[in-house]
Structure 1
Amino acid sequence: MPRSLRYLFLFLAGGGLIFFLLMLFGYRLVTRSLPTVAGVIHISGLDRPVSVYRDDTHIPHILAKTESDLFFAQGFVAAQNRFFQMDFNRRLAAGRLFELFGPASSKTDSLMQTVGIIRSVERLRSALDPETEFMFGAYTQGVNAFLNTHADRLPMEFKLMNDAPESWRIEDCLAVQALYVWLKDASWRMRPLLGAVAEKAGVAQARILFPGMNTDGLSPRTVKTIADTLIIKRLESVFGEGFIPPVPGDDLACVVRGRRMVSGYPVLATRPGFAPIQPALWYEVHLCGGGIDAAGFSLPGFPGILHGHNHRVAWTHVHRHGFSLSGWTVLPKTQYRILHAGDVRQAAGAVGKYPESSIRFLFADTSGNIWPTPQGSWDWSIISSERSGTYAERTLDRLLGQRERLSAQDLQTLSGNRFSAFAGDVREAIHRVFGAVSDRDSAAGAALRKLLSWDLSYRPGSSEAVLFAAFIENCFSELWGGLLGETLLTAYARLGDIPLRALDDALGDTVNSESVGTAWLEAVEKLRRRLGPDMDAWSWGAYRRLIFHHPIRFHPLLTRVYQLGPFVAGGSGETVEGPGHAWNRADRITACPSGRLIIDMATRLGVSVLPTGQGGQPLDPHYGDQIQRFLSIRFHPNLTDTSRILHSGWEHLTLISEDDHVKKRRNPRYPAI
């Protein structure tokens, strides 16, 4: 072989070897931060050994002897999977994202410092009762035990941003939960918008555009006190940074009496809403130890279970619009008592002390009781984020009433219902307004006939759903674009059912017939230009995609690594299934169920699904392993039988307290509390 070729061969071989070693090093660097799920970990702070079994979806089943060790282990395990998410949320609550993202978060930080969540947290911290202090203290010790044993194996996000997290505090638990409640509320988005609309379009028009909202105190004199278009523009700039979702996502939950169920026992079903984020909002967990045996959705960074059940009681809650920094304290103050509740009376008694809260609860127990008690002869209670009935509530109420007896499986099926009561309401108005369209425009006429034959279901393959959504988009622009302007219209179109009810009324008014007709013709033409002339080839799933966004998106390559999607999704914001969009921009999903959970008190078991998965890091095999199950409305069972868990063959991690002499040698970087 000529010397030059030999040198070239050696150079290429050496380069290939170096590249391979770099890839191997990078892979090792990333994967070493993944959670340890089997074997033994020695940590400080435990009284007795704790077993953690992870099932096929990686739900941790934590088996402890004492409640102190149980909450300690919950904090440790949550940090194993979701610590960057926990740290991100506490910094967001405090207005300290600049520590991670620099000037890219300046507007968000300014808003959060103005809101003052941390000031409220500090006041609550000094007033915690002993039970809550005990629970939060043990959880905090567990988080810091993780930080002490994994200081060199923290999630990759910290390495990417060259940052080291602070120790976890009880105040951080409270801040994470307060942030969640604040983000779930729409009133801080809605009230300045109401004032700005009244100032620009007049008080009478504001009342028309906000049906069902309390506008009794609204007058030309009082508008100035709440109207500030600059606030709306400032909020839009905050939303543009991408750290705070522009919509909270609507909650929907129901509880059905046992006499309506085939089993004779109540069933509770819930689908809390949120923005499509990654990692998932919730972390599923089973807690068993001391006097507690409960399972369900936990909030990473906050101890206990916010949606779930023990062996006697099931619970969930929804967030009504109307947040106050005093009302959010209901969750930390009642969590310990709900975990121990023996019946509906005890659970309802714990939350009944806080009537000022915007959070509303549903309970069911094994004795057949449900709360709140249905009115009249009804056998179920349905609640959502709106104070008056939403279109999704109306649909669910109708579906529940169609059957004499229901099963838990029926509730699973109903949770994926894609029927639009709103579309049904406006179809007659559409027919009346567009009766002459088909005579003068063949494309618009064919589209009209197609729409009028629609089954009103937002199936992923539906072309009619695309037509309807594009028409609604144009209606917003035609009817209110000139009146409100782009900024106010964009903010208004995100308000869930409120603008839909206003549009429903507007479509029934003959004064608007010309504008509505124009909206239809332009919608058909726009779709033909964008999707092609073959209407049968249009599909709702291709028109509107679902993307789960991660806070790390300051580089296109990292965005592709951390975010999940796009995915094809059915449903709409006014349907029971849920994934919603701004009504003037249907191609972007802005809210979706943050999880689905159904609890059957006959079996004392739940079935559930998260939008993405339990994992918190991209190379974790459970980072997005539930996506297809979520999109197809399938559930996984939640086993709580301890004897079956012990013999399950699942991955088994044992947490053992260090020996005393080891404890004395160590100088932990992160204090216990």
Structure 2
Amino acid sequence: MSWQKRTVLVALTLIIILPAAVIGGGWLWLRSGLPQLDGAVTLPGLTSPVEIATDRNAVPHIFARSQQDAYFALGYVHARDRMWQMDLNRRIGAGRLSELIGSAGLRYDRLMRVLGFQASAEASLQALAPEVRQALDSYSAGVNAWLGSHGGPLPLEFQVLRYQPEPWKPADSLLWGKLMALQLSGNYNDELLRARLMQKFPAETIRQMYPDYPAGAPVTLASDLTGLEFDRLHASLPPPLGPATASNEWVVSGERSGTGKPVLANDPHLQLGAPTLWYLARIEAPGLSVTGATVPGVPFTVLGRNDRISWGFTTTGSDVQDLYVERLDRSDPGKYLTPDGPRPFELRTETIKVKDADDEQLVVRTTRHGPVLSDIEPRAVQAAPEGHVISLAFTGLSDRDTTAEALWRLNRAPDWEGFKAALRLIQAPQQNIVYADIQGNIGFYTPGLVPIRRKGDGSVPVPGWNDEYAWTGAIPFEELPQDFNPAAGKIVNANNRVTSPDYRWFLTSRWDDWYRAARIEQVLEANRRHDVDAAEALMRDTVSLAARDLLPLMLKINPVSQNAKAALDMLRGWDGTMSRDRTEPLIYEWWARELHRALYADELGPLFPEVMSASPRLVLHILTKAPQWCDDVTTADARETCEDMLGRSLDRALVTLSERHGSDMTKWRWGAEHRAPLAHQVLSRVPVLKDLFDIGIETDGGNHTVNRGGSSIRDDGAPFSHIHGAGYRAIYDMSDPENSRFMISTGQSGNPLSSHYGDLVEQWRDGRHFTISGTLEQVTSESLGRLTLRPE
């Protein structure tokens, strides 16, 4: 072989081998950062050794000799397994996202700086009891011990974004609560939408668009800015449809469970992603025995059980945010009007660091009601008349928030009275909390601050220059909705209406749809014994009562095309089960989506994408009580009927489905559209990496099934992608608490290179669960490893 050929061969070999070697070496280097699960490590900050046995599902069982050492260990394992998630959440809450991703993060950073979450979290530390602050200190010490001692590189996200996390501080742990309060209390967005609708439609038209909560649906316990009168608006404008969040919870008494003790089930529904929000952990220490769902960055168990009680959450949806239109002083724009005369805005300047760009200086203005939103929110600018600004009053902005202490006390509550004493400290967000104990009691409480308004219901922006619409206090804790050992022997809530119409206080006019609650009630009534196995089966239930309700009305058409006839034949024989392998759910859901567009997109025009919802409430109302909406207002020479709109929308749906899935209707599958992407916040946006770390999976269920597969039908590209649902599921057996069952949607590790990053996905999809129990020796015998943390 000539030297020229040898040179070419060597060069080609190097071109092939060197990149592979670099990639392989980089892969091995990154994997060297995976956590140590076995052996011992010596750390500063501990007082006694702590044993951490990591079971086969990668759940840590922490055995400590003091509660403070237990919190230290939890901080250590949270950082070990989820440091990137922890750091991202605190950066979002502190308004420091732009430091990592550049100007794309400014929208979020501006909002967080205006709301002042970082400052209020730091101030709230002083409102907590000393023992709670000590727990936060111990937890932070554990996080920082891992940061200072871990071997190998930090997880891949830190390498991609090229930065090191800062030490953890106690106030960082309180930021998550602020973010949740905002996420679960987003009704100020509804107010802005209503304000824009009011500029286009009369009140009666808007009222037709938003039908009231039906009388027979499940109940858990049983001046002038735009030329319209505020009193009339409050009386006539129901809220936008469609839940921002959703969850299920139910509890049955010992008589209904068949064991003599209660069974409690809970699966909170939030945005799905990888890693999931929740992290399972068990803590055993003197005076503290708690198992369940923690949140990385927070030392207290949010959902779970101790050795005497169990509890679960759903969101109440109460209106705890109001927008006030503040009138500026004409002679001095640096002041706004109050009943006592002009008052200067409180001012502070926030410096936002932006990657690859200059720092941004943001001047934040605050009124007596709260921060000025219209300085950063374009929709608020549109809603504010000239010479006015819009400020936000929100229960989640308190700088003396004791919600974290409520969790600390809830983890230790021995009984109903201790449970209530803990809940008294919850401020935001308001939650529906179910309860069960080993004595056989069940209960329900909805703690949280809910404003009492002098006038109005918080549905639209109101004048802020007088006190006509002022908050005069909060609903007394003793008068919040509650129940204890009801005669029915069961309590059910799935974000449906909590109180009957004669309840004294106003909570909200935005009650979510009732279908999940109705299905849970239906199954509980049909089965005489509701034990842990029955609860597990109900969590898997994929029957859509919404489809059973709406479909008979949709089927009342005379199809013309063969495809339409075939589709209707399929749907007539369908029982509403949302199985991923069936064709009918795909046809039904796409038809319903097109029907929403056909019925009211013509009237709403550019506002349609913001109002469009998966809720069938409006469609049912139009087809049964308001057929005038079926007329297409853009066709002046014709008057369409509801049958016309049903036929057109079905034809459009079938054409679209053929384009997306082929012409053979028998091969269409719900799972082809209904897939949980479980996307990573960063890596899913990076070519190659997004496919390499894809743990997405086809799923059953839909927006209105107990096994909820929530989607956003406003997304034209993937309207039925399963992006919202039960990231955590638990069933608590109070006859044998160690028989309680748990599951999360991804895996315990947040490191994409770990085998526990997505190892629970299939079990989660299929509705399976596992127990978290056993002595230290029992767990160790079948564990992934036993790590001893030793004091320095």
Which of the five TM-score ranges fits, normalised by the shorter chain?
0.7 to 0.9
Aligned partner of 2:143 in structure 1 is 143
Task: Please give the alpha-carbon distance, in whole angstroms, between the structure 1 residues aligned to 2:122 and 2:548.
Answer: 49
Query: Does the CA contact (< 8 Å) of 2:181 and 2:429 recur in 1?
Result: no
Shift of 1:354: 4.4
Shift of 1:53: 0.7
Q: Which residue of structure 1 aligns with residue 551 of structure 2?
A: 427
Residue 302 of structure 2 is aligned to residue 178 of structure 1: no
* Mapped contact 2:127–2:402 kept (Cα < 8 A): no
What letter matches 1:407 in structure 2?
Answer: D
Shift in Å, 1:397 = 0.9
Matched, 1:557 2:659: no
**Aligned pairs (5 A) from 1:226-237:** none
How far the C-alpha of 1:223 sits from its partner, in A, is: 9.9
**1:490 counterpart residue number:** 609
Once the two structures are TM-superposed, the CA of residue 599 in structure 1 deviates from its matched residue by: 1.0
Q: Which residue in 2 is equivalent to 1:261?
A: 257
Q: What SS is found at the alignment partner of 1:573?
A: coil
Aligned partners of 1:296 and 1:307 also within 8 Å: yes
For 2:427 and 2:33, the matched residues in 1 are separated by 44
Q: Does 1:522 align with 2:642?
A: no
User: CA separation in 2, counterparts of 1:83 and 1:132?
Assistant: 22
Give how far 1:657 is off: 1.4
SS at match of 2:711: strand
Structure 1 stretch displaced more, 354-363 or 314-323: 354-363
Offset of 1:347 from its aligned partner? 1.2
For residue 303 of structure 1, the aligned residue among 295, 299, 303 is: 299
Q: Deviation of residue 321 (structure 1)?
A: 2.0
Aligned-partner SS, 1:164: coil
Q: Is the 8 A contact 2:747 2:757 kept in 1?
A: yes
Task: Determine the structure 2 residue equivalent to 1:503.
Answer: 619
Identify if the C-alpha distance between structure 1 residues 113 and 151 changes in structure 2 by more than 3 Å, giving closer, same or farther: farther
Separation in structure 2 between the aligned mates of residue 403 and residue 198 of structure 1, nearest angstrom: 48
Q: Measure, in 1, the Cα distance between the counterparts of 2:534 and 2:208.
A: 38
Q: Is the 8 A contact 1:348 1:371 kept in 2?
A: no
Alpha carbons of 1:397 and 1:634: their partners in 2 closer, same or farther (altered >3 Å)? same
Q: Which moved more, 1:142-151 or 1:568-577?
A: 142-151
Counterpart position of 2:488: 378
- Please state which structure has a larger fraction of its residues in helix: 1
Name 1:462's counterpart in structure 2.
582
Match of 1:294 in 2: 290
> Hey, what's the Cα distance between the residues in 1 that align with 2:416 and 2:59?
26
Q: CA deviation at 1:626?
A: 0.6
1:251 aligns to what SS in structure 2? strand
Q: Report the Cα distance in structure 1 between the residues aligned to 2:698 and 2:59, rounded to whole angstroms.
A: 26
Q: Aligned residue for 1:474?
A: 594
SS of equivalent residue, structure 1 residue 200 = coil
- How far residue 633 of structure 1 moved from its aligned partner, in angstroms, is 1.0
Q: Say which is worse superposed, 3-12 or 334-343, in terms of deviation.
A: 3-12
Aligned to 2:396: 325
Whole-Å separation in 1 of the counterparts to 2:397 and 2:253:
33
SS of corresponding position for 2:411:
helix
In 2, the alpha carbon distance for the partners of 1:374 and 1:403 equals 23
Q: Sequence identity of aligned pairs in percent?
A: 26
Within 2, Cα distance between the matches of 1:562 and 1:455? 36
Q: How does 1:164-313 map to 2 (within 5 A)?
A: 164-212=164-212, 220-222=228-230, 248-313=244-309
The letter of the residue matching 1:530 is R
Query: Judging changes above 3 Å, is the alpha-carbon distance between structure 1 residues 590 and 501 closer, same or farther for their aligned structure 2 residues?
Result: same
Q: Confirm or deny: 8 A CA contact 1:197 1:206 kept in the other structure.
A: yes
1:539 to 658, 661, 669: 669
* 1:390 equivalent in alignment to 2:520: no
**Matching of residues 16-95 of structure 1 within 5 Å:** 18-95=18-95
Alpha-carbon deviation of 1:225? 10
Query: Aligned equivalents of 1:460 and 1:32: distance in 2?
Result: 39
Deviation at 1:14, TM superposition (A): 5.3
- CA deviation map 1:335-356 (0-9, x unaligned): 2211111123311231045477
Q: Distance in 2 between matches of 1:355 and 1:163?
A: 35
Higher strand share: 2
Deviation of 1:20 (Å) = 5.0
Quickly say closer, same or farther: Cα 1:282–1:528, change in 2 above 3 A.
Answer: same
CA distance in 2, matches of 1:171, 1:157: 24
Residue identity opposite 1:460 in structure 2:
R
Q: State the match for 2:748 in structure 1.
A: 614
| Alpha-carbon spacing, 1:348–1:520, altered in 2? closer, same or farther (3 Å) | same
8 Å contact from structure 2 (residues 567, 587) kept in 1 = yes
RMSD, aligned α-carbons: 2.7
Deviation at 1:287, TM superposition (A): 0.6
Aligned residues: 629
Which moves more between the two structures, 12-21 or 123-132? 12-21
1:279 to partner: Cα distance: 0.8
Q: Is the 8 A contact 1:271 1:597 kept in 2?
A: yes
Q: What is the CA distance between 1:545 and its match in structure 2?
A: 2.1
Question: In structure 1, how many angstroms separate the alpha carbons of the residues matched to 2:231 and 2:704?
Answer: 30
CA distance in 1, matches of 2:493, 2:531: 20
1:655 matched residue in structure 2? 789
CA–CA distance in structure 2, aligned partners of residues 296 and 161 of structure 1: 32
TM score, norm. by length of structure 1: 0.88
**Aligned position for 2:475:** none
By how many angstroms is 1:160 displaced? 1.6
Who is 1:342 aligned against? 414
CA shift at 1:41, angstroms?
A: 1.4
Of 515-524 and 28-37, the range deviating more from structure 2:
515-524
Partner Cα separation in structure 1 for residue 548 and residue 14 of structure 2: 68
TM-score normalized by the length of structure 2: 0.75
Output aligned runs, 1:581-620, within 5 Å: 581-585=711-715, 586-605=719-738, 606-620=740-754
| Alignment partners' CA distance in 1, 2:676 and 2:428 | 36
| Mapped partners of 1:594, 1:395: distance in 2 | 20
Q: Deviations over 1:72-104 (max 9, x none)?
A: 000011000001100000111111101110112
Q: Equivalent residue of 1:556, what SS?
A: coil
Secondary structure at 1:173 match in 2: helix
Q: Unpaired segments of 5 or more residues in structure 1?
A: 227-231, 233-245, 659-673
| Displacement after TM superposition at 1:266 (Å) | 0.6
Relative distance call for 1:559 and 1:138 in structure 2 (3 A) is same
1:222 partner letter: F
| Offset from partner CA, 1:99-129 (integer Å, 9 cap, x none) | 1101122222222223332232133122111
Q: Is the 8 A contact 1:295 1:640 kept in 2?
A: no
Residues 380-411 of structure 1: CA deviation (Å, up to 9, x unaligned): 11123343462111111111110111110011
Alignment partners' CA distance in 2, 1:519 and 1:252? 32
Question: What is the CA distance between 1:259 and its match in structure 2?
Answer: 1.0
Q: 1:576 corresponds to which residue?
A: 706
CA shift for structure 1 position 325 = 0.8
For 1:669, the equivalent position in structure 2 comes to none
CA distance change for structure 1 residues 370 and 330 in 2, over 3 Å: closer, same or farther?
Answer: farther
The answer as to 2:438 corresponding to 1:366 is yes
In the alignment, the residues of structure 2 paired with residue 531 and residue 647 of structure 1 have an alpha-carbon distance, to the nearest angstrom, of: 49
Structure 2 residues not aligned, in runs of 5+: 215-223, 235-239, 321-394, 445-482, 498-510, 631-641
Change (3 A) 1:98 1:162: same
Match of 1:662 in 2: none
- Counterpart of 1:305 in 2: which secondary structure? coil
